[in-house]
């Protein structure tokens, strides 16, 4: 598919608003591996190849095992590869990303509350919101992958 536009070229300030949200998310106490897993799962649901390429590299850099990356779309069936904390975050990510379907269930919320402090839940929610914004920008504009694989810093 042909890229429709480069949002950055049209208006470099467009991404700055979302980058502010990212700065907030990464200044919190959530570890980078967990954040990368959440971003991967949302990007899978939203079919955002640009973000998948980036966040898989970040997950590797943050210590995610290859099997986790291979099986994240089927994390429930591969639950032993994911900690209870990661499972709660992935379930929350799916329901927030697909919020119009059934909202966030009490079961998912209760599992989240068992694993995360309230401040962490806010940070996690903002991380999910941010990746969904990035996904929607890139999928809509049909942002093309880089010629070379993304390399995490």
Compute, in degrees rounded to 10, the torsion defined by CA atoms 116, 84, 48, 100. -70
Q: What domains are there in the chain, each with its CATH number?
A: 19-141 (1.20.1290.10)
Model pLDDT, residue 148: 77
Helices (H), ranges, the chain: 7-10, 14-26, 32-46, 49-61, 66-71, 84-97, 99-102, 106-115, 118-141
Top pLDDT among 138 and 147 is at: 138
What's the predicted TM-score (pTM) here? Answer: 0.94
Distance, CA of 29 to CA of 81 (rounded, Å): 22
Distance set, CA 67 to CA 56, 94, 97 (Å): 12, 20, 23
Mean pLDDT in the chain? 95
Residues 10-49: pLDDT tens digits?
A: 998 998 989 999 999 999 999 999 999 999 999 999 999 9
Residue 153 banded pLDDT, cuts 50, 70, 90 = low
């Amino acid at each position: 598919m042909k890229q429709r536009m480069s949002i950055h070229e049209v208006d470099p300030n467009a991404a700055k608003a979302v980058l502010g949200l990212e700065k907030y998310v990464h200044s919190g106490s959530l570890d980078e591996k967990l954040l990368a897993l959440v971003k991967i799962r949302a990007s899978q649901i939203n079919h955002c190849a640009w973000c998948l390429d980036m966040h898989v590299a970040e997950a590797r850099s943050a210590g995610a095992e290859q099997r986790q990356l291979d099986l994240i779309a089927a994390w429930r069936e591969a639950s032993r590869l994911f900690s209870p904390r990661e499972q709660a975050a992935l379930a929350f990510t799916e329901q927030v990303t697909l919020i119009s379907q059934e909202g966030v269930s009490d079961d998912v919320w209760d599992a989240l509350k068992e694993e995360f402090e309230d401040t962490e839940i806010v940070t996690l929610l903002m991380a999910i919101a941010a990746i969904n914004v990035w996904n929607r920008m890139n999928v809509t504009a049909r942002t093309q992958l880089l010629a070379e694989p993304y390399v995490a810093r």
